[in-house]
Amino acid sequence: LFHQGLGVQVHSSRGVSWSTGFQNSFAYCKTVTFCSSQSTPEVYPLVCILHVCLCSCESSQFHFTHDLHEHHFFLEYVEKNWKEDTFFGYQLLNGLNPMMIHRCSKLPENFPVTEDMVKASLFGKNLEAEIQKGNIFLVDYKRLHGVTANVIHGKQHFLAAPLCLLYMTPEDKLIPIAIQLKQDPGEDNPIFLPTDSEYDWLLAKIFVRNADFAEHELNFHLLRTHLLAEVFAMSTLRNLPMVHPIYKLLISHFRYTLQINTLARQALISKNGVITKNASVGGPGMMEFLKKAVASLTYSSLCMPEDIIARGLESIPNFFYREDGLKLWDIVHRFVQKVIGHYYTCDSDVQEDYELQNWIKEIFFHGFLAETGTGIPQSFSLMTELVKFLTMVIFTVSVQHAAFAGFLFNYIGKSKPPPTTKGQCTESTMLKTFPDINTTVNGMAAVYLLSTQSTDYVALGNGYQDHFSERTPLELIHKNQDVMKKYNFEIQGRNVSLPLSYTYLNPNNVENSVAL
């Protein structure tokens, strides 16, 4: 359908090189999902290196592109406010992991919070009434329950699987009001409250932040952006010729992805990787947790509009991740819709495109392990289905990745178990709970590198013009870039009035692919 002119010559001339070099290089192996079977980044064919990989690992340079004033202001703000309940709540909405929080319609049976416990935090208001009003929220780290904690430098570390209840105050401030550090209630698993001693409450919040790091780094960052991006890239390179419009639309969004994932498997999650050796959820617990994360993966959770509705967060105030993310989803969706409308005139065009059908079939089997419960399509019947899926792919590898990877400092591990009683924690015992300095430095160095930009960084919406040559698609590309620029200025204007700017999803800060 799309093989015309020079493109058909390129496509037909690949012949033997495709069946040998390409198919061998893009073979799958099974981990928690299927991924590339290659163990070193240099083995990919030249076309893959050009389109998908770093040109030279050794010569690539990274530079810190944060505006120094803004960067120092952020660190100063954190240093000043890290103990505050309001900043704790802010992080669950606009920090590195805005994916765990949801509106609480009913208290979990294993989280027996009583009216008396939270009366002071609710300023005398009734808990059940506030639940009905939609002012109570919950984060539940149940996937960490039973996961084996790591042994780091010969010392046993610990993981909590906490539940945290939060309240949206009349001043639109989200604050924690109750924390239980393990899933099973009992005398040795107290519910910590803001009215407890300073260090009891602070340590409880720190264990929540530690659990949040595990969910963020392995589930949302690694699995839901890096590993899915790899499956999308592999299927594109294996099934779509370079003249195919979907190839042209997607290939710039896979720039460097196979390379960086191969390097990550070597340097981060291998036997001697940084996460394996320095995170509480590293070691044997890493695969245990990832299997649980894969089991929770659904199509709707990857589509931001549906995910926000499912978590009941449509109207929660000061939720800039939602505000910016939904806007970018809409921009991407409208662009994809116009491009697809140019190449496909009706639903039957989609149904009869066997290369496209092979593409989505491979994603279903290799990325989502043929699990029909995920809701991932096995084929496309409608143009609207194709547009939605392509929007999700582009959003996942660009916007969503930027939200998770923008600034990766966090608590990496805990060297003491969660407290089982109240009134025993002091500043000294709290500090002893933190990992040793070597573990801390190793972890901070790794996550800081992962939050930098490469010298040949490409922002969202750029790169398409290298693959399209027709007039109409090029016009659509330029219009889309203008829309991105306009929204970039809107975000900058909004941030001027915020005490802490939310810049993760400024289009200029969103890389076009999972490149680091």
Spatial separation of the C-alpha atoms in residues 287 and 495, rounded to whole Å: 39
Q: What is the mean pLDDT of residues 277-295?
A: 90
Q: Decide if pLDDT at 446 tops 50.
A: yes
Structure tokens at 4: 């015309």
Spatial separation of the C-alpha atoms in residues 32 and 57, rounded to whole Å: 26
Helix (H) or strand (E) holding 234: helix 228-239
In a domain, 137, yes or no: no
Query: pLDDT tens-digit profile of 378-387?
Result: 999 999 999 9
Would you list the DSSP string of 34-93? EEE--SSGGGS-HHHHHHTS-S-TTT--EE--S-HHHHHHHHHHHHHHTT-HHHHHHHHH
User: What radius of gyration, in Å, describes the C-alpha atoms of the chain?
Assistant: 24
In a domain, 102, yes or no: no
Length of the chain: 516
Spatial separation of the C-alpha atoms in residues 390 and 494, rounded to whole Å: 29
54-63, 169-178, 278-287, 405-414: which has the minimum mean pLDDT? 54-63
- Percentage of the chain surpassing pLDDT 90? 65
What does pTM read for this prediction?
Answer: 0.86
CATH number, domain containing residue 317: 1.20.245.10
In a domain, 194, yes or no: no
Query: pLDDT tens-digit profile of 472-516?
Result: 999 999 999 999 999 999 999 999 999 999 999 999 999 999 998
Spatial separation of the C-alpha atoms in residues 458 and 137, rounded to whole Å: 37
Query: pLDDT tens-digit profile of 169-183?
Result: 999 999 999 999 999
Strand 62-63, strand 34-36: pairing: unpaired
401 labelled ligand-binding = yes
In a domain, 22, yes or no: yes
Q: Give the model's pLDDT for residue 2.
A: 40
For residues 14-53, b (16+ Cβ closer than 10 Å) or e, as one string?
A: eeeebeebbeebbebeeebbbbbebeebeebbebbbebbb
Closest CA to 456 of 50, 69, 68, 71: 50
Q: Name the 3-class secondary structure at 4.
A: coil
Spatial separation of the C-alpha atoms in residues 113 and 206, rounded to whole Å: 20
Would you list the DSSP string of 131-162? HHHT-EEEEE-GGGTTPPPPEETTEE------
Structure tokens at 204: 């409880």
Spatial separation of the C-alpha atoms in residues 149 and 158, rounded to whole Å: 5
Q: What is the mean pLDDT of the chain?
A: 85
Q: Are 257 and 515 in contact (CB under 8 A)?
A: yes
Query: pLDDT tens-digit profile of 327-378?
Result: 999 999 999 999 999 999 999 999 999 999 999 999 999 989 999 999 999 9
In a domain, 386, yes or no: yes
221 labelled ligand-binding = yes
Q: Which residue reads 């066997």 in tokens?
A: 354
Angstrom CA distances, 378 to 101, 241, 479, stand at 30, 20, 32
In a domain, 172, yes or no: no
In a domain, 400, yes or no: yes
In a domain, 121, yes or no: no
Query: pLDDT tens-digit profile of 61-71?
Result: 334 334 444 55
Spatial separation of the C-alpha atoms in residues 356 and 310, rounded to whole Å: 30
Range of the domain at 355: 5-65+213-410+447-509
What is the band of 18 on the pLDDT scale with cuts at 50, 70, 90?
very low
Q: What is the mean pLDDT of residues 276-299?
A: 91
Q: Give the model's pLDDT for residue 226.
A: 95
Q: How many structural domains comprise the chain? A: 1
216 labelled ligand-binding = no
Spatial separation of the C-alpha atoms in residues 74 and 89, rounded to whole Å: 16
What is the band of 416 on the pLDDT scale with cuts at 50, 70, 90?
low
